Structure 1
Amino acid sequence: MLSEPESAPPEALTLWPSPEDGGPPAAAGPEPRPPLPRSRRYKEGPSGEQPLLLPACVDDYVAANHPVRAIAAYVEMLDLERLGFRHAGGALTVGQPAYAPGDLLKLYLYGYQERVHSSRRLEAECRRNLEVMWLLNGLRPNYHTIADFRKNNAAALKAANREFVLLCRELGLISGTRVGVDGSFFHGNASAASVKTKKQLEAELAALEQDIDGYLAALERGDADAAAAEATTVSAQQLADLQARAQRRREQLEELARTGETQISRTDPDARRLSKNGQKVTGYNVQSVVDDQHHLILTHEVTNAGNDLGQLVPMAEQARQMLLDGQTTEAAQPLEVLADAGYFTESDIAACASRGIVPYVPVPEKTGAAERAGRLSAREFVYDAEQDRYRCPGGEALHPYGQPDTRNGVNYRRYRSRASVCQSCPLKAQCLPPAGKRREILRSEHAEAVERHRERMAAAPQVMRQRAALCEHPFGTLKRWLGWDHFLVRGFDKVRGEMAMIVHSYNFRRVLSILGVAAFIAYCQARGVARGFLAAWYGLLERLCQPFWGRDDPWPMAGTVSGSHRPRAAPFVPVRFTPAP
């Protein structure tokens, strides 16, 4: 370490008088050097041109507990041929060999968890991301191959997502007693301008027909007068274009009339303009059912409905079927379903009760005309089930009258009082309008189920406080943490496959957070070994039995483990490779 030399006493260095005392002037010397810095101002790394001795194996760059290892172990465990992935059988074909569907599935699972959804960006990750290089063994599929995998395997992606939910149930991560249902809008691969309503199409068709009539009139004037013909700027091509556009509008209107839809999109045939609580989206309404134990998405559905009415029973039934899939006995406890008031319909509440499903849905308090006018509401009239009549606040009875009315598929029975009694009632001013003679009340055929539902909701106010945290958490994670808010494909089939991949990635991330990477890898390896042993056993049995059956397919019973349904898997072995220079 450098140090300053010790300075000598001033009197030992003085040989001449100082300039102040009349001595000679001091000789000019070099400028004093600044003190050496005690630390660097910035961190410095090696130059990009500096040769380095990097590890010879990409596996050394991937930590032992990195989620990418769990992705590899999980996909290696799956029977992709049984799930329906294309080229999963490994058959030889003409031309270049196909990419293994397992490799592309690994790429998508990794990309969706790392907020990389575009096929072009996934292609770039294959060339610069060491984790992806390790995952794909250095393969570099182009963006077209990556995009085609997502487009052509929509049904298989849905099957893989279902398989993972069953795996979560096998691990004991799903309680199956209480679930939450919620819906959220996702943008589609279409703009708002591409979606037309019936009213817009009719207006555009009328404008086109008016232009066509004007062009035809101009052409007729040109035929009658030479001067008008020179002034006419209408060409036959322009007229043909207008007629073609008008014909397309007529065909679109015919399609709306045939399908009963109210909108049609030129870009995505199934996307719709949706609006709810001030939110306007051109896309889809995604419904999800979330289990309350670990907030795993049990099932989901993609619709283009503008609201959640009518979605309660289908989603609850899908959840129950998922919980009963492969089970030999019914669930010990009924399934409780939590939803917001947007799902409430009397028919859905009654349908849940008939299916053994316990719904918890707030009942919207609708204000009738009488209540808005300050008169007695229908809730203040008490129904007597034994006598099948209503009792008014004044103590008089309202009896059934006439035939039931049907409104929105629900039958309503009419109850009304006697006019002579109402005219002399002291509560007439509070019950009837000035010109009214009697009071009438409509009773739904599902009124009893709704009354029981009201009592259940009043007895468990704490249940609804769990709904928001249970249902809205997954959608918040998908949109904010995973960065997903719009679909990249078009049409119900492809969109549903892409949504299955999104849900698959969300559940996979949740499971790794719950179990840990090492425990999940150990489970996948053990399950893969078991399935590999089972496949070997069935193969041996097939070879032994084929001479006796004398057929190509030794399994007489369809739907067993025959052909593509035979389990086949190999235990996961980490792959180490040296990347090409």
Structure 2
Amino acid sequence: MDDAIAQNNEVRLIDLFVDSFKLTDFGFDFDFVENGRPAYHPSDLLKLFIYGYLNRIRSSRVLEKESQRNIELMWLLKRLVPDHNTIANFRKDNTKPIAKVFRATVKMASHFELIGGTLVAGDSTKLRAQNSKKNNFNPAKIDRHIAYIDARLEEYALALSKQDGDTNNKKVITKKISKHRLQKQKYIAYQNIIDSTGVTQISTSDPDSRQIMTRNNISEVAYTVQTIVDARHNIPIDFKVTNQNDSKAMGGMLRRTKTILRTNNFTALFDKGYHTGSEFKAADQLGIKTLVAIPSIGRASQAPDTNYNSEHFAYCKENDTYTCPQGNILKSNGSTYKGNNYTFKQYKTKKCKNCPVRDLCTTAKANGKVIQRSEYQHYIEQNAIRMKQDPKAYKKRQAIVEHPYGVIKRQWGFYYIMTKKTIEHASADVGLIFSAYNLRRIFNLIDHNSLKEYLKRLFLIFYTYRTVFKAFCQTYINSKNQNIYHKKYYMVT
């Protein structure tokens, strides 16, 4: 069988890649039932999944079938054929270890200098969850269902009152009434959960998934996958599965990126969905330069003449005042007001009443033009300055961060999550997706002979370390048993 697998076949790279790990350090579970059949080694199941995802196979049943007929998998698994339940359980039970496998792919890419670490781009993509829209409920949808049931119950009650002696019809109607009452109790229970927990939605098949907008006003019950992609070879260096939108994601992703790259000397590009004042402050505190697209002003916030929009009012930090295009000074009364997760001040002037261009500046009848300045406005303005100074840099964002999404979703067809129930299980699936993507990039960019030499060195280092350490431990135990204390043992310890 070994002769049937070419030396340049990438399945040999997968074998070396997994064997170069110390899987106990990754946290894979090695426990097995003593009275049952021996457990499959985690390395065998990990090899099976990496091979599967690289070849667009994620189903545990299909992987089981392929291990019986695919000669590459027969060689890789040494003719082992795990059951599909064993395969599926390995994926969902090893979320954190799989994340460490992804980190290993990033480390390998860094070793071969495929990661520049000076320019990164962040974005999110939506992967559909194993939960239909029918099994997703929000307060408005629950109210509609309850109203529909109440209307049907009234109809059945009226029909029941008109039945004279037809016993069969009465039984049918009574059965329908009982069924609708049970359904109503179910929806009332959902509403009670929403009221008591503060969640906005309930998904019955996959509780952590949420109905969110995906594209062009089309919604799906899905997860949001936040990613950071390095610009040199479009390699993702971090991901996080959430059920939230993008507005509060940038700060946390930059903090993680700083830890991965071990520096803050890089520029991060994000689209307008991440344009949030508190996140700009977080990036500033981390010392990371960000370029975030500036969203357009809402129609309700625009002046009748756009030349009099608030961005054309000059702010003076020393005097804490604004100057309008007509030269009038807008002052604050010093009070701070609470907004949605932020505080702000209001600036206005009495000269608005007699201003000759008032109709061009504002539609307000009482106070005239009022400008609100958020506590994060300084950081927002700094981003606007950076965008003006370096407009070409931001244009690279889409080409950098959309590349992995195009391959994963369009070419590979991985536009949905395979696992069910909880973000942790979804993260395991996404971790394998991005691990496979990074390996595909590395296999395409690096000479296979160089890869083999690198992985063989890691393999030898790991096994040499393990053999020497075992020998030392045994020698040390023997010396302790003989009450012999050698200085060299303590030095090695």
The two structures have a TM-score, normalised by structure 1, of 0.76
**What's the counterpart of residue 243 of structure 1?**
181
How far the C-alpha of 1:367 sits from its partner, in A, is 4.4
**What's the counterpart of residue 369 of structure 2?**
439
Q: What are the Cα deviations for residues 474-494 of structure 1, in whole angstroms up to 9, with x where unaligned?
A: 011111332311122112111
**Aligned pairs (5 A) from 1:320-469:** 320-324=258-262, 331=263, 334-367=265-298, 369=300, 371-374=302-305, 376-418=308-350, 421-433=351-363, 435-436=365-366, 438-469=368-399
How far the C-alpha of 1:539 sits from its partner, in A, is 2.5
How far the C-alpha of 1:116 sits from its partner, in A, is 1.5
Q: What is the CA–CA distance in structure 1 between the aligned matches of 2:238 and 2:139, rounded to whole Å?
A: 34
How far the C-alpha of 1:250 sits from its partner, in A, is 1.5
Change (3 A) 1:81 1:386: same
Q: What is the CA–CA distance in structure 2 between the aligned matches of 1:243 and 1:434, rounded to whole Å?
A: 52
Amino acid at match of 2:22: D
* 165-174 or 401-410, which deviates more: 165-174
Partner of 1:180: helix, strand, or coil? Answer: strand
**Aligned pairs (5 A) from 1:209-224:** 209-212=150-153
Change (3 A) 1:71 1:374: same
Amino acid at match of 2:304: A
**What's the counterpart of residue 525 of structure 1?**
456
Change (3 A) 1:433 1:197: closer
Amino acid at match of 2:426: V
Q: What is the CA–CA distance in structure 1 between the aligned matches of 2:33 and 2:172, rounded to whole Å?
A: 61
Q: What is the CA–CA distance in structure 1 between the aligned matches of 2:168 and 2:5, rounded to whole Å?
A: 78
**What's the counterpart of residue 485 of structure 2?**
none
Amino acid at match of 2:87: I
Q: What is the CA–CA distance in structure 1 between the aligned matches of 2:182 and 2:362, rounded to whole Å?
A: 60
C-alpha contact 1:352 1:358 (8 A) present in aligned 2: yes
**What's the counterpart of residue 263 of structure 1?**
201
C-alpha contact 1:335 1:356 (8 A) present in aligned 2: no
How far the C-alpha of 1:545 sits from its partner, in A, is 4.5
Partner of 2:241: helix, strand, or coil? Answer: strand
Q: What is the CA–CA distance in structure 2 between the aligned matches of 1:390 and 1:93, rounded to whole Å?
A: 76
Q: What is the CA–CA distance in structure 1 between the aligned matches of 2:432 and 2:373, rounded to whole Å?
A: 46
Change (3 A) 1:127 1:262: same
**What's the counterpart of residue 154 of structure 1?**
95
C-alpha contact 2:139 2:200 (8 A) present in aligned 1: yes
**What's the counterpart of residue 60 of structure 1?**
3
Partner of 2:131: helix, strand, or coil? Answer: coil
Percent of residue pairs identical: 28
* 453-462 or 397-406, which deviates more: 397-406
Change (3 A) 1:184 1:394: same
Q: What is the CA–CA distance in structure 1 between the aligned matches of 2:63 and 2:287, rounded to whole Å?
A: 46
Amino acid at match of 1:193: K
Q: What is the CA–CA distance in structure 2 between the aligned matches of 1:207 and 1:348, rounded to whole Å?
A: 44
How far the C-alpha of 1:239 sits from its partner, in A, is 4.3
Q: What are the Cα deviations for residues 523-576 of structure 1, in whole angstroms up to 9, with x where unaligned?
A: 1111121122222333344335457889xxxxxxxxxxx9xxxxxxxxxxxxxx
Larger radius of gyration: 1
Change (3 A) 1:226 1:399: closer
C-alpha contact 1:382 1:391 (8 A) present in aligned 2: yes
Partner of 1:403: helix, strand, or coil? Answer: coil
Q: What is the CA–CA distance in structure 1 between the aligned matches of 2:248 and 2:47, rounded to whole Å?
A: 36
Amino acid at match of 1:287: Q
Identify the structure with the greater helix proportion: 2
How far the C-alpha of 1:237 sits from its partner, in A, is 5.1
How far the C-alpha of 1:517 sits from its partner, in A, is 2.0
Change (3 A) 1:231 1:173: closer
How far the C-alpha of 1:151 sits from its partner, in A, is 2.5
How far the C-alpha of 1:170 sits from its partner, in A, is 3.8
Amino acid at match of 1:206: A
Q: 2:13 aligned with 1:83, yes or no?
A: no
* 341-350 or 458-467, which deviates more: 341-350
**What's the counterpart of residue 77 of structure 2?**
136
Q: What is the CA–CA distance in structure 2 between the aligned matches of 1:100 and 1:287, rounded to whole Å?
A: 32
- Unmatched runs of 5 consecutive residues or more in structure 1: 1-57, 325-330, 551-561, 563-581
C-alpha contact 2:304 2:360 (8 A) present in aligned 1: no
**Aligned pairs (5 A) from 1:486-525:** 486-491=416-421, 492-525=423-456
How far the C-alpha of 1:390 sits from its partner, in A, is 1.2
C-alpha contact 1:368 1:377 (8 A) present in aligned 2: no
Partner of 2:124: helix, strand, or coil? Answer: strand
C-alpha contact 1:215 1:234 (8 A) present in aligned 2: no
Q: What are the Cα deviations for residues 288-319 of structure 1, in whole angstroms up to 9, with x where unaligned?
A: 111112211111111223x4221211222222
Q: 2:220 aligned with 1:281, yes or no?
A: yes
Q: What is the CA–CA distance in structure 1 between the aligned matches of 2:174 and 2:68, rounded to whole Å?
A: 54
How far the C-alpha of 1:356 sits from its partner, in A, is 1.0
- Given candidates 197, 203, 208, the residue that maps to 2:138 is 197
Q: What is the CA–CA distance in structure 2 between the aligned matches of 1:231 and 1:427, rounded to whole Å?
A: 76
**What's the counterpart of residue 415 of structure 2?**
485
Q: What is the CA–CA distance in structure 2 between the aligned matches of 1:363 and 1:434, rounded to whole Å?
A: 26
Q: 2:239 aligned with 1:303, yes or no?
A: no
**What's the counterpart of residue 489 of structure 2?**
none
How far the C-alpha of 1:344 sits from its partner, in A, is 1.0
Change (3 A) 1:533 1:390: same
C-alpha contact 2:346 2:370 (8 A) present in aligned 1: yes
**Aligned pairs (5 A) from 1:559-578:** none
Q: What are the Cα deviations for residues 475-527 of structure 1, in whole angstroms up to 9, with x where unaligned?
A: 11111332311122112111111110111111111111122222112111111
Change (3 A) 1:143 1:434: closer
C-alpha contact 2:303 2:361 (8 A) present in aligned 1: no
C-alpha contact 2:21 2:462 (8 A) present in aligned 1: no
Partner of 2:107: helix, strand, or coil? Answer: helix
Q: What is the CA–CA distance in structure 2 between the aligned matches of 1:301 and 1:258, rounded to whole Å?
A: 28
How far the C-alpha of 1:260 sits from its partner, in A, is 2.2
How far the C-alpha of 1:199 sits from its partner, in A, is 1.0
Amino acid at match of 2:16: A
Q: What is the CA–CA distance in structure 2 between the aligned matches of 1:540 and 1:504, rounded to whole Å?
A: 35
How far the C-alpha of 1:352 sits from its partner, in A, is 0.8
Amino acid at match of 1:293: R
**What's the counterpart of residue 24 of structure 1?**
none
Amino acid at match of 1:281: E
Partner of 1:300: helix, strand, or coil? Answer: strand
Change (3 A) 1:123 1:457: same
Change (3 A) 1:76 1:110: same
Change (3 A) 1:192 1:424: closer
Q: What is the CA–CA distance in structure 2 between the aligned matches of 1:256 and 1:510, rounded to whole Å?
A: 44
Q: 2:402 aligned with 1:472, yes or no?
A: yes
How far the C-alpha of 1:370 sits from its partner, in A, is 6.5
**What's the counterpart of residue 254 of structure 1?**
192
Q: What is the CA–CA distance in structure 1 between the aligned matches of 2:446 and 2:150, rounded to whole Å?
A: 66
Superposed CA RMSD in Å reads 2.7
Amino acid at match of 2:432: M
Q: What is the CA–CA distance in structure 1 between the aligned matches of 2:207 and 2:302, rounded to whole Å?
A: 44
Q: What is the CA–CA distance in structure 1 between the aligned matches of 2:301 and 2:133, rounded to whole Å?
A: 41
**What's the counterpart of residue 116 of structure 1?**
57
Change (3 A) 1:234 1:433: same
Number of residue pairs matched by the alignment: 480
Q: What are the Cα deviations for residues 428-473 of structure 1, in whole angstroms up to 9, with x where unaligned?
A: 4433448445432111111221222111111111101211110000
How far the C-alpha of 1:97 sits from its partner, in A, is 1.1
Amino acid at match of 1:132: L
Q: What is the CA–CA distance in structure 2 between the aligned matches of 1:258 and 1:522, rounded to whole Å?
A: 58
